[in-house]
Amino acid sequence: MTKRPVYLAAGGTGGHIFPALAVAETLQTRGYSAHLFTDQRGAKLLGSASSLPAVLHVIAAASPFQNGIIKRTSAFTKLAVGAVASLYHLLVRRPALIIGFGGYPSFAPLVTGRLLGIPILLHEQNAFLGRANHALAKFANALALSWPQTKNLPAVKHVEVTGIPVRQAFFEAAQTP
């Protein structure tokens, strides 16, 4: 029997994308297929990397905290479009879990996943819980933290300090003389 895929959702910066790739790499070694939701910034950051440990899905996303009604309306429209795209992927593949790494591109996949009854795990890389993860915490089954004294934590069911996920290549490079 094939294992159901695991979806990851990460903002378009290296602080969100690289920990997600480290988790995708580990999932791959354990026999899971990993899929990564991100926005255009994340796709640009990854470039044409052909050896990604996850299938890349680029969705529309933007921060709803922008100044001006036009920019804010545009951001909510992008989030809605990202939610429709996320819903399609999640309905077709029915993942076992969705892991969010913060940033607004993680918002639509995690909310739609929760509506579909898919378990949600959040990971916060910083010592202060970001806006997206703070808003998403109420939907999460558990929250993984990089730092034991992380600030801005809402009430969540289960919190675990796991550290920052790091790709295997960094450990291998550290051992090379």
Residue 1: the pLDDT is 42
Instruction: Report residue 94: phi and psi, to 5°.
Output: 45, 70
Residue 144: the pLDDT is 95
Residue 24: the pLDDT is 94
Please give the model's pTM, rounded to 2 decimal places: 0.90
Q: Where are the beta strands (DSSP E) in 25-168?
A: 34-38, 55-58, 97-100, 120-124, 142-145, 159-161
Inter-axis angle of helices 69-93 and 107-115, to 10 degrees? 50
User: What are the distances in angstroms from CA 1 to CA 4, 31, 127?
Assistant: 9, 11, 40
Residue 49: the pLDDT is 64
Residue 112: the pLDDT is 96
- The letter for the amino acid at 120 is I
Mean pLDDT by 10 residues, the chain (177 residues): 87 92 93 94 81 89 90 93 96 96 94 96 94 91 94 86 84 70
pLDDT digits (tens, 9 = 90+) for 85-111: 999 999 999 999 999 999 999 999 999
Q: Which tokens belong to 59?
A: 């969705």
Instruction: Kindly report the number of other CB atoms within 10 A of residue 13's CB atom.
Output: 15
Q: Where are the beta strands (DSSP E) in the chain?
A: 6-9, 34-38, 55-58, 97-100, 120-124, 142-145, 159-161
Residue 69: the pLDDT is 93
